[in-house]
Amino acid sequence: MPKLHKLKEVSAKSKCGTEIIVERIYERVLSEASNDEAWIPLSKIALTDKVIDLRDDETFTHPRTQVVFKILSEGYA
């Protein structure tokens, strides 16, 4: 069975400058025309065994500390 999702470590930073590593969830997308595949980032991260939805501005609230973090710019997988 082909893999449909994968995790990639990305950095996230709070307004006070604290930087953490989280795992962004990517989904595999196949192009019907060329049979090529690409991995696109979903608006979700995996953190402390939980899946957290990102807001439209790529931010999330850490479930333990309640600090707001923003995903830093990244290249696509």
**pLDDT tens string 41-77:** 999 999 888 999 999 999 999 999 999 999 997 644 4
41 token code pair: 């980032």
The CA-based angle 66-64-67, given to 5 degrees, is: 25
pTM: 0.81
Q: C-alpha 40: how far from its chain's center? A: 10
